[in-house]
Structure 1
Amino acid sequence: MIYLIFGHSGSGKSTLREALTKKGLNKIITYTTRTPRPGEINGVDYNFIDKSQFKKMEEKNLFIGSTCYAGNFYSTLKEDLEKNNNDLNDCVIVVDKEGIIAIKKEFKNVISIYLKCSKEILKKRMIKRCEDESVIEKRLSVLENLDEYADYIIDSDEDMDIVLSDVLKIIKIHSVVK
């Protein structure tokens, strides 16, 4: 099963992905042209590439669900999903709505989980991770309701242990790895 984790910046997507990886799910690492945040590692958090590399890979049709957010490009390597699209693996990937639409169109065994978070909590979390005030305001100004893209909606205002527990219950229902 492919588990798509999505939500707004600060909703806990990356934290949840790391927790699920520790529980045995394969992590799909997406590509981005944004610069790493403090503590982020290339090939672990994202595959950080420049815009020229991104465009070349996109022209070769290597990506699925490409998007531009806050002036940076993001996408998933199709090959990474194809490798994990079998009865032996469950994998987790952080995506946005374009990624959900594209991946669900191409793959059948996909569950999308929306980490829905209040604007106040999003702002607090972005401040805590030392985001620039202008970046925070830009991200908060483009918030939209993503309910329609979700198979499941999780209240991510909650403590991450509660969020993880709720997501593990969903995975237990759908997991291909028994």
Structure 2
Amino acid sequence: MKKVFLLMGYSGSGKTEVAKALEERGYNILQSYTTRQPRHESEWGHTFTTVEEYEHLEREKQIVAYSYFDNNHYFSTKEQLLETDVYVIDPDGIKDLKKRVPDIEFVAIYLKVDKKTRYKRMLKRGDDIDMRLKRINEDGIKFRKKRFDYQVINYELDKAVNVIDQIIKIERNE
């Protein structure tokens, strides 16, 4: 059975940076769809789309993972999953995936970082104060009942990526 490794963590936990580093090691990273505007011109990690395209894919029953945050849709399709190794996703999306896609095994990896560090990372990437506070508050609600298979501490990117690389290899019996 195909395995997809799910990276989850609070805002500012380093999910995107870990995913980029894993991509450099040859893993296929799912670029999820979102209807939000890019934070900057070359933002990595999402395919930016319209509400109309989201509605079309929803009508066609193409969406297999879905989350809604800050008036924006975040989602992926089964076709994307079949071509990916790693997917950055939140607990709502994981719950949706497991319900809609029983023929893929999902391994959830939670990136753990303290609130102060996450706040500094959000500041560094340009989130304004209202957005930082909103994300911290909503994450507290969204992650209250988080379930994961592995927890990886992410204060040093290289160490976290090495641990995740090993988890993937062990899970795949490589």
Q: State the TM-score, normalized to the length of structure 1.
A: 0.86
Equivalent residue, structure 1, for 2:46:
46
User: Does the 8 Å CA contact 2:91/2:146 hold for their aligned counterparts?
Assistant: no
Show the counterpart of 2:161: 164
Q: Distance in 2 between matches of 1:113 and 1:19?
A: 15
Write the deviation string for residues 96-121 of structure 1: whole angstroms up to 9, x where unpaired.
11221222332442211011221111
Cα distance in 2 for residues equivalent to 1:168 and 1:152: 12
Query: Which letter does structure 1 place at the counterpart of 2:165?
Result: L
Deviations 1:109-168 (A, max 9, x none): 221101122111111000000111111111111123457421111122x11111112211
Structure 1 vs Structure 2: percent identity of aligned residues?
A: 30
Match of 2:79 in 1: 79
Matched, 1:115 2:75: no
| Aligned positions of 1:13-32 closer than 5 A | 13-32=15-34
Runs of 4+ in 1 over 6 A off after TM superposition: none
Partner amino acid, structure 2, of 1:24: G
Match for 1:118: what amino acid? D
Indicate the SS of the match to 2:61: coil
SS at match of 1:142: helix
Moved more, 146-155 or 25-34: 146-155
* Partner Cα separation in structure 1 for residue 56 and residue 4 of structure 2: 26
2:9 matched to 1:7?
yes
Q: Which residue does 1:88 correspond to in 2?
A: none
Distance 1:83 1:138 in 2: 33
- Equivalent-residue separation in structure 2 for 1:166 and 1:78 (angstroms): 27
* Alignment of structure 1 residues 94-109 onto 2, 5 Å: 94-105=88-99, 106=101, 107-109=103-105
Q: Which amino acid aligns with 1:67?
A: S
Unaligned segments of structure 1, at least 5 residues? 85-90
Instruction: Measure how far apart 1:35 and its partner are.
Output: 0.8
Distance 1:39 1:153 in 2: 32
Secondary structure at 1:171's aligned position in 2? helix
Q: Distance in 2 between matches of 1:55 and 1:35?
A: 17
Which of residues 125, 129, 132 is equivalent to 1:133?
Answer: 129
Cα distance in 2 for partners of 1:35, 1:148 equals 27
Which residue of the partner structure matches residue 153 of structure 1? 151
Give the SS at the match of 2:139: coil
Distance 1:36 1:99 in 2: 20
Farther off after superposition, 31-40 or 141-150: 141-150
2:61 is aligned to: 61
RMSD across aligned positions (CA): 1.8
